[in-house]
Amino acid sequence: MHLHSLSSRSATTKRTSLASILAVGVAALTGCASSATHSQPPAQAPAGVSRTSTADNARTDTPVNSGVSAHAQYAAFANAVNLRTQDLPGFTPSANRHEGKHAESEPELERCVDEKETKPLLKAKSDKFRSGSALDTASANSSVQIMPSIAVVRMELAKIRGALGDPADRSCLIRLVDTSFARQDRVIHVGSGTVHVAFSDTKLAPVQLGTVAGTDGAFGLSLSMKVTYTVVVRGQNISVTPVPLSIDALGFARGRAEVTLDTMAFGKEFSPELESKLFSLLVSRATGAVHQYPAIQR
Q: What is the DSSP string of 33-81?
A: GS---B-PPPP-PPTT-----HHHHTT----S-TTS-HHHHHHHHHHHH
Predicted local distance difference test score (pLDDT) of residue 268 = 85
Asked whether the bond before 4 is cis by omega within 30 degrees of 0, the reply is yes
The conformation of residue 226, written as its DSSP 8-state character, comes to E
Predicted local distance difference test score (pLDDT) of residue 286 = 97
Predicted local distance difference test score (pLDDT) of residue 50 = 47
Delimit the domains of the chain by residue range: 17-297
Is beta strand 128-133 parallel, antiparallel or unpaired with respect to 186-190?
unpaired
Q: Fill in the amino acid letter for 284.
A: S
Predicted local distance difference test score (pLDDT) of residue 254 = 96
Among residues 52, 50, 60, 126, the alpha carbon closest in space to that of 88 is found at 126
**75, 43 Cβ separation under 8 angstroms:** yes
Q: How far apart are CA 63 and CA 179, in angstroms?
A: 48
Contacts of the segment 160-168: beta carbons below 8 A, 24+ positions apart: 160/1, 160/17, 160/18, 160/21, 160/219, 160/251, 161/206, 161/217, 161/219, 163/18, 163/112, 163/113, 163/115, 164/206, 164/219, 164/221, 165/206
HSE, CB side, 13 Å, CA atoms: give it for residue 284: 10
Q: How far apart are CA 265 and CA 271, in angstroms?
A: 9
- Report the run of H or E that residue 216 belongs to, with start and end: none
- Report the run of H or E that residue 167 belongs to, with start and end: helix 167-182
Per-residue pLDDT of the chain (298 residues; tens, 9 = 90+): 543 332 233 223 334 455 555 555 544 444 433 333 233 444 454 545 544 444 434 433 445 565 779 999 999 999 999 999 999 999 999 886 654 444 444 566 666 766 666 889 999 999 999 999 878 899 999 999 999 999 999 998 888 888 888 898 888 888 888 887 777 667 888 878 898 888 889 899 999 888 899 999 999 999 999 988 888 888 888 888 889 999 999 999 999 999 999 999 999 889 999 999 999 999 999 999 998 999 999 8
Predicted local distance difference test score (pLDDT) of residue 159 = 85
Residues facing 251 on adjacent strands? 219, 260
**∠ CA(136), CA(142), CA(146), 5° rounding?**
160
Q: How far apart are CA 143 and CA 40, in angstroms?
A: 11
